[in-house]
Amino acid sequence: MTQYSNLVEKRKLMIEAETWGEQIESHDYQKGKGYFIYYNNGKVVKVVNNNKTIIKLPSSVEDLIDNYVRSKQC
């Protein structure tokens, strides 16, 4: 039963981290370059004339979970 409980807790943490990762961390406008959206999972999206381009892909699942756990401790 303990093994099952550990698996459920790990999966629950992963789902929470993925949900947190899709939230916007910050916005940034750079004149001449465009508007950038930074997500908690490390993804960066550039918006120019309503066209979105992914500049940086999301972090790995392990990094995402580590960052999520760290954010909850603050």
- Terminal-residue alpha carbon distance, the chain: 32
Q: What is the pTM of this model?
A: 0.84
Domain count, the chain: 1
1 in Cβ contact with 9 (< 8 Å): no
Task: Write out pLDDT tens, residues 27-63.
Answer: 999 998 899 999 999 999 999 988 999 999 999 999 9
∠ at Cα 10 (63, 39), nearest 5°? 35
